[in-house]
Amino acid sequence: MITLHATAQAGTGEFAGRIAVVTGAAGGIGAATVRALAVRGATVAALDNDTAALEQLAKEHDADGFPVVPFPLDVTSSADVASVVTEVERSLGPIDQLVNAAGILRLGPGCALSDRDWTDTFAVNVHGLFFVSRAVVGRMVERRSGAVVTIASNAAGTPRTGMSAYGASKAAVAMFTKSLGLEVARFGVRCNVVAPGSTDTPMLTALWSEGQGPQSSIDGTPSEYRTGIPLGKIATPEDVADATAFLLSDRAGHITLQTLTVDGGATLGV
């Protein structure tokens, strides 16, 4: 069961009456984001291609009295994305908030990555984000209202060894989100980016070699030009979800085209 720093009842809170869509909803940051929005009163459409995990996520929230509705989706299919977004609005109502959290990580040196590693990374991280954003934001523009947050990475702006495909894909989605935000700002739609660093998810543990663990990420690796984390701790998925919820909220009503980095200072504020 996911825990969060705040509690609320369904239908109450700052997001009461709003419809939110979260992609990658069954993953660590995605699942925490679903919870963060639901406890703040939103009705959440949870999108992911892991049907079993998605159903379990919805069941847990239902037990707690929070409206989370599962919608199985492969974001790499443009036709499926269009169909599911239409179904979300038909079933739940007009979408007010979108969180693009779907993503995969393929590790390896840039000159040794396979074609499949490269194309899969961009299919999910970039093409999927484009398909979903196009389908949802077009509707927000018609209604002259909406807020979008894309979960990128601090690797989008800081080179990381073995992460060239991932970093390139996250740089692409960050710039796409900001460019889209510039285009739709006059329609009252805000688009921002949250850039996590090392976060306690399965994606992080995939980076650890045998015998390594959280401390290796905290201490850094000089031979790989990783400076470590000044705050001395790894982020929780809830840390990222809370930052995302803020940018979706009316408290951030004059913030758009920005990146909020949640990495404990690992990229030294650059």
Annotated catalytic residues are 166
Beta-bridge mates of residue 43: 19
Tokens encoding 238: 């809830």
**Which of the 8 DSSP states describes residue 37?**
H
**CA-to-CA distance for 123 and 117, rounded, in angstroms?**
10
Among residues 152, 33, 144, 166, which one has the least CA distance to residue 96? 144
- Under the phi-then-psi rule, with left for phi > 0, alpha for psi from -120 to 50, and beta for the rest, what region is 158? beta
**CA-to-CA distance for 10 and 104, rounded, in angstroms?**
31
Are the beta carbons of 20 and 42 closer than 8 angstroms?
A: yes
State which amino acid sits at residue 123: A
Positive or negative, the Cα torsion across 11, 13, 19, 20?
negative
**CA-to-CA distance for 38 and 10, rounded, in angstroms?**
7
**CA-to-CA distance for 26 and 19, rounded, in angstroms?**
18
**How far is CA 263 from each of CA 66, 181, 249, rounded to the nearest angstrom?**
29, 23, 21
